[in-house]
Amino acid sequence: MDYTLEQIEDENIISLTLYGDLTTPEAILLGKYVRGKALELNYKIVIDFRYTENHISISEAYYWFANYYDVVNYNFRRIPTAHITNEVDADFFKFVQATCQNNGIPIRLFKELEPAKHWLKEKKYK
């Protein structure tokens, strides 16, 4: 999996765009790094999945924070995160959004970058 990472300083956002196969091991490592950086800088996160092919299972997604992030820093749950998805994986990311929101994790799904950034700037994370 390839990626581009950008810190948008005037908006306090870390923007991550992913390319290629989205697999659990790479997603965990990159997710921990990006969430750690966002926590350190008090930034929000936008992750663009439009150029990926998802290979993460629903069961892995359901326990993602509990299994992979909570053990590093429970505050990773508090970072507002916008996901941008493609049509092929939209149902998977709708499940991720619902699961996270049911657990109080501020994640929302979008189809385009600008609405995602707008939501993060609004500070209304419900």
Contact, 108 vs 79, CB < 8 A?
no
pTM given for the model: 0.94
Q: Dump pLDDT digits (tens) for 61-93.
A: 999 999 999 999 999 999 999 999 999 999 999
Domains of the chain: 2-122 (3.30.750.24)
Query: Residue 17's closest CA among 97, 63, 86, 99?
Result: 86
Distances (CA, A) of 117 to 10, 20, 22, 120: 12, 23, 22, 5
Q: What is the largest CA-CA distance in the chain?
A: 37
d(CA 70, CA 104): 13
Q: What is the 3-state secondary structure (H, E, C) of 40-67?
A: HHCCEEEEEEEEEEECCCHHHHHCHHHH
Q: Where is average pLDDT lowest: 27-41, 80-94, 111-125? A: 111-125
Confidence label for 126 from pLDDT (cuts 50, 70 and 90): low
Compute the Cα dihedral for 20, 22, 28, 32 and give only its sign: positive
